[in-house]
A and B are shown apart, each in its own frame.
Chain A
Amino acid sequence: METIKLQKIFDAKIDRGDMIEPKDWMPDDYRKTLIRQISQHAHSEIVGMLPEGNWITRAPSLRRKMVLLAKVQDEGGHGLYLYSAAETMGISRDEMIEQLHSGKAKYSSIFNYPTLTWADMGAIGWLVDGAAIMNQVMLQKTSYGPYSRAMVRICKEESFHQRQGYEIMSVLAAGTPDQKAMAQDALNRFWWPSLMMFGPPDASSPNTAQSMRWKIKRETNDELRQKFVDRTVPQAEFIGLTVPDKDLKWNEAKQSYDWGTPDWEEFNNVIKGNGPCNKERLSARIKAHENGAWVREAAAAYAAKQQQKVAA
């Protein structure tokens, strides 16, 4: 079939709101956009294990240690579903990992910020997972079938992550003055980076318009960001913490918050590799991969020997 006709069938499916499946014809750019987005999402889950993994050995109670272990384990699992979803588009996990390590593929910049105190485990669950959920809930209706289905599974677990983070913050905020200060400090440090997780403003987001047309994205960066602010500010107030934005105020007419401007220069710099932990995060991933090379070789050699035995 000629490309023009295939393109028409594809467009009609998108317009009707049908899912695109791996064996369907799709435009090259649609495939490229999705590979970029899904692999970036998978890498974010994997790199995201590091800042939280940093506190597992120091979690201040056994219950917190268990919950954090379970959460970080979930993230590894999410990485697996997402790598598999991306593989349906004809790229291998090895290629994706290679792109991460070479710097060609990105991951969420939020993980380039350090986790300095226990309260950061609360802030990450509450704010970072909270922001991720906004995106992921939308992506359950994304037009590519395997991605959408991965998101449905992931969303179920993410809401538990967000709740446990908020619970950590609530307990700290209601604790001693030292604990409350620790919680406020974590909110101060993670608030703006969390807002930046939604990506650049719509006006300067190169990919948004096309992704919206293809129904890969259903809401723009700015729409999701506003939703997040509207939902999170009352949660902060409820536990007695202050959102670090002097321009923040309720706008009665539009029934939502007005708020300040993120430091986009910082955002761009963190993306470029100048965040506080870019080097550490990437080198930790590369080191794990390199240190694991002999293990993967051994597993492959053993599997080959077993196959030979079966064949003999």
Chain B
Amino acid sequence: MQVQVNGEHMELPGGATIATLIEHLTLAGKRVAVEVNEDIVPRSQHPSFTLSDGDRVEVVHAIGGG
């Protein structure tokens, strides 16, 4: 299936969860927040939240800013 992650198209196996995606992005254990189709998915739900074809995912972190 195809999902959009941070504006980029990405091919993922069917049934992939957010935890799978984070692992795939080598971000496991990093402090990130995830939104799917503009709704927050709490960290506790990352292993159980299954992505669907066409989902728009945002993975964000904290950077320098005023």
Partners in one complex: no
